[in-house]
Amino acid sequence: MKLLQKFPVIILFLGCIACSRSHSQGAATSQPTPEPVDLRLQVSTPFHFVTYADSRFHDPRDTEAANPAVRQALVQAIAQTSPDFVSFGGDIVYDGNNKEDWKIWDSETSVWREKHIPVYPALGNHDLHGNEKVALANYFERFPELKNSRYYSVRAANSLMLVLDSSLDETSGPQGLWLKQKLDRLPGDVDFVFILLHHPPYTSSSDMKMFGGGHSARSPELAMAKMLEARQQNLRARIVVFSGHVHNYERHEHGGVMYLVSGGAGAHAYPIERAPGDPFQSKEVNYHYLAVQVDRGSVKITMHRLDLTTGKAVWTEPDSVTISAPAANAVARGN
């Protein structure tokens, strides 16, 4: 990686394993978990990456599972931006147990490998669908650098990315202990901590699906959010959490932590409820990806929205936010 800067900021990426908790803490914790890997990417500031979730790679002839035209257009558009890496917040494929779905992933994202763009994924519930052992074998075959780690870290310049498996408890057990240790032992030259996981700690959508789709936030992710917000108060870094599962875009901030839901990668998107105080208001379907520009002491996140309803790609940028590291804010104030 390129030189790491001295102010820490934390960004959380949320990866999911099960729509229900059936794939989460109970069954998953019964199997031994390998020691999580600590990866290092050789970049320096400024650098940029892309994050999004919920693509459901699957036979493009089956349009009930996803919108293949949107999925493919997003992949190509991301490749054209030449990001330093892509972080994928889960539900990569429609059926993790199905080798054919993973072959669609292989073929449709081949341009990323041709351009040597690393991909750092989090597990989603669809990625664990069916026989979990087979599903995980399919997953780790594509990402051998993970060494069978269901959660892991990536150091990139002045950032630390913590990738979680939301089918496991995020605040207890081996993963919870690992997460707390990473936050409590944060290197002094980290400005941002990006946390990636599938299930969102905050969403204005709900299981009521008032506008056709959505999911309520679950108690394990809410507990994790409270833990993160408590630690944020004493950190010289900023925490930003990226998640998916809800097939739309949302932005929330609580306790100094920024939460972004980015489930617009190609699984059928739907309008969702919006709370009156939500920073981003939209009644639309929002297929999209997030471009994240990381610099010294600041991160800019831009939502790139794709509309293919007329058959012609229309790109807009309906939301953008710049986040500063707490230490950078202190310097700006002259403290």
* More confident call, 96 vs 34: 96
* More confident call, 18 vs 173: 173
Report pLDDT for 216: 67
Residue 12 phi/psi, 5° resolution? -105, 135
CA 244 – CA 231 distance, rounded (Å): 23
pLDDT higher than threshold 90 for residue 284: no
CA 158 – CA 3 distance, rounded (Å): 7
What are the Cα distances from residue 31, in Å, to 16, 68, 132, 159, 312? 18, 35, 11, 31, 47
Report pLDDT for 27: 43
pLDDT higher than threshold 50 for residue 151: yes
pLDDT higher than threshold 90 for residue 4: no
Q: What is the mean pLDDT of residues 271-276?
A: 86
Average pLDDT, the chain: 88
Q: What is the mean pLDDT of residues 245-267?
A: 95
Q: What is the mean pLDDT of residues 135-160?
A: 98
Signed CA dihedral, 204, 209, 212, 217: sign only: positive
Report the 10 Å Cβ neighbour count for 95. 20
Q: What is the mean pLDDT of residues 246-261?
A: 95
Read off the tokens for 152.
């892991």
Report pLDDT for 9: 45
Report pLDDT for 32: 62
Domains of the chain: 11-332 (3.60.21.10)
Residue 90: left if φ>0, alpha if ψ -120 to 50, beta else—which one?
A: left
Task: Give first-to-last CA distance, the chain, whole Å.
Answer: 30
User: 45-88: per-residue pLDDT in tens?
Assistant: 999 999 999 999 999 999 998 999 999 999 999 999 999 999 99
User: 90-135: per-residue pLDDT in tens?
Assistant: 999 999 999 999 999 999 999 999 999 999 999 999 999 999 999 9
The position carrying tokens 């970049």 is 43
Report pLDDT for 211: 56
Report pLDDT for 147: 97
SS3 call for 86? strand
pLDDT higher than threshold 50 for residue 287: yes
Q: What is the mean pLDDT of residues 289-296?
A: 97
Cα–Cα–Cα angle for 146, 147, 153, rounded to 5 degrees = 40
Report pLDDT for 168: 92
Amino acid symbol at 122: A
pLDDT higher than threshold 90 for residue 37: yes
Report pLDDT for 204: 86
Q: Quick check: 297 and 328 in contact, CB under 8 A? A: yes
Report pLDDT for 328: 58
Report pLDDT for 335: 43
pLDDT higher than threshold 80 for residue 200: yes
pLDDT higher than threshold 90 for residue 228: yes
Report pLDDT for 274: 85
The position carrying tokens 């709900």 is 206
Report pLDDT for 276: 86
pLDDT higher than threshold 50 for residue 2: no
Percent of the chain with pLDDT over 70: 84
Read off the tokens for 132.
């979990």
CA 149 – CA 38 distance, rounded (Å): 10
pLDDT higher than threshold 80 for residue 17: no
